[in-house]
Structure 1
Amino acid sequence: MKQAEVAAYFSRFEEAESMYLHMDRRDLAINLRIKLGDWFKVLQLLKTGSGDAYDALLEQAYNGIGDYYADRLKWENAVQYYLKGRNQERLADCYYRLENYDGLEQLAADLPENHKLLPEIGQMFVTVGMCEQAVKAYLKCNQPKAAVDTCVHLNQWNKAVELARTHNMKEIKSLLSKYASHLLEENKTLEAVELYRKAHHFLDAAKLMFKIADEEGKKMSRPLRVKKLYVLAAQLVEDYHEQVKASQQSKAKGKTSEATFTLAGLLEEDATSSDNRIIDCAWRGAEAYHFFLLAQRQLHAGYTENAMRTALHLCEYEDVIPAIEIYSLLALCSAANRAFGTCSKAFIKLESLESLSPEQRQLYEDLALQIFTRHPPKDSRVLRADGSLEGAEGKLPTCIVTGLPIQEYQFWMCSVCKHCAVEQEISKYNCCPLCHSPVA
């Protein structure tokens, strides 16, 4: 023993180790190599021995060799020994440096929940832009705020909103606003609408949809598309009504009657709505374009009187459809129906429009002169502004199938858009002509 210590003192390590082994003192030989930091020799000595007493030392040896390779930037070799030494922290660092993100993801999956290494792995994924993997790591260690911040940082706004809603985070409103602003800056208005709809912010979605429809309506190049946009906007408002109603139901469950919580819902709408047009007149735009298209179909099909009466009904929608489009259609339909009195009124309205240029106004005047020098401006029957016959009692509901006032006492009403139709006419349809919901 003394001779071995003397040999070790004079750096004759091989001789000292041989003496220790000859005395069957493997532990002293191992300690000698550990002091020298010769982990390869330590591993060799441990493998020639037996027993569970060396298990901890075996892991230490593997990690020591892993450090040896890591110090020399040989990350692949280091990984092999860190795996054997179960050194998860150093293993994560090696995977990151090797850009072995599959291995890093598998390591995060193998770690137990709330492990201290998970936030670090999440940050590693953030730095390389791997949002989904980072979110998984943060959620596994119960850090949803960090997961949401990661999504925002990497512009995965949709995922951020979904996470905030799933974990009932207070920041969801501000997140929605930021994401919507981000989408609107990139002219992705429809994506912003979908964002609000998925987040159940139906009124905000409806406002954006009405804005899109209004802008498309100014072009008047694709009226069918505009009608669909207005229908979608109105349906979002209906979803908002249902949401408010459901909210009041949950608050007043078992305490008040249905009439009471419905009234409370209406009061809440009045208190929160900043745009009464959206709440109170949600279907007005869809109505306008529905009757605009209907009048044209009737005219092309040869139903000139029905087309004229539908076009007369359009006069109530000057705030939605440009007046020049309405009265041009009315003049055309009434001329085809030989109702030149109505046609004359349409021309008078057209000639008085301030939006017309002098050249356009002159063209209308010349056309009116050609028509009314041949035909006196008189109608065979007098019609009211809503298209109903003169003498009808009160304002009658309009049939969305024919565009004509409903004379019957019993009629069909859509359960979604609340518009009416003659039962005989609606029986030919499977869906509501206005909102396209199934006919009950």
Structure 2
Amino acid sequence: MYRVWNFVTEYSVLLILGALLALVWANIDPHSYHAFVEYPLVDHAWIGHLHVDAEGHGHRTLTLHYLINDVLMALFFAMAGKEVWEAVALKSGSLRGKKAMTPLIATVGGMLGPISVYLGIAMVMGSTTFDAVSNGWAIPTATDIAFSYLVGRLVFGSGHPAVRFLLLLAIADDAAGLVILAIFYPSAEIQLSWLGLSIAAAVAVWFFANRLPRAMDGQDPKKPVSTMVREKFGFWPYLVAGCASWYGFQESGIHPALGLLPIVATIPHADINFGFFSEAETHMHDLLNDIEHALKRPVEVILFFFGLANAGVEFNSMGDATWLVLAGLLVGKPVGILLMGWIAAVPMRLGLPEGMKISDLFVLGCVAAIGFTVSLFVASVAFDPGPVQDAAKMGALFSFGAAGLSFIAGILCRVEKKEV
């Protein structure tokens, strides 16, 4: 396992500071907090929230909240998408081959378990409650990679195979979460024709800035054309294509925070993948990794503002959605991961990494129950602003309680810590 502690710590601290500031501000002066978050930056803009009048005429308003959640968070999801892409596409990718099967199957349990618990309890609570909260079923499926990794290191030790298992599971969880956001949580009425712009942008930049230069190089090991294109144009073709793709997503109705994902797969990359947040990747200088290195600090700042813009809920906003999100995460995650991980390891005979026990799966499931970042994001798109959204966000914030549950589970399951 490569050292990732410094990166994840920096990532986490700014996000936590933003969330804490939002909580304090929203509970001291909620009016000024919401006025700040929803402050209109530009009216009648090309991008922003769509407003349609009674006659069917629409215009967009760019608010601070839209700028953070829909525009800037696209960079965060692009970085997450980069890790998923490398894990799947590269020959050395961590989600390829038999070694990834048990984590992948456990990930299915880590999503089906929370959904079943969330919707099952909501049905028991009655049709009124079910109708009000059912659209939030995906909120407890999320796993916050950074925070889960921090807790996983403390519970298992940096050298335990469960830590790598956790990272594989979290990356797969991210991939599934991106698909869920795209399909089940559109930002407006779906207009698939606009996706043609995103597809065209991705194909064009891949062909003219990637495939064509490599074809012109032929067998020349110096790759003069590819080198010239990179030195002369750098990341600019991909930035232009990214803007076009993002706009296509906005107009299509698919959440625009996912708008850069089609471009990520077109950027030239190395043939080796060291894993999420790996320090070793700082020494790699293919264009994809260079872009990620350049985005690292800006994304940390963006996550501060994401916490500030989304975690500002009043403590009296707790409601049914709070407890449903918590139950899905704290009960559904560990049970789902344990059950499906066991099925993969024992009946399917796929096994576990050497040094892992079946009981470690339950502890790992408790660690993965920290939803925070992505759970907050899904809550913000699953519900309209109001009491239900605030209650769901409170559940996402309270999922930090999974950290304490993880330590208790580690003691009860007699986890053998392993350091490197």
TM bucket (normalised to shorter chain) is under 0.3
TM-score norm. by structure 2 comes to 0.22
Instruction: Find the structure with the greater CA-based Rg.
Output: 1
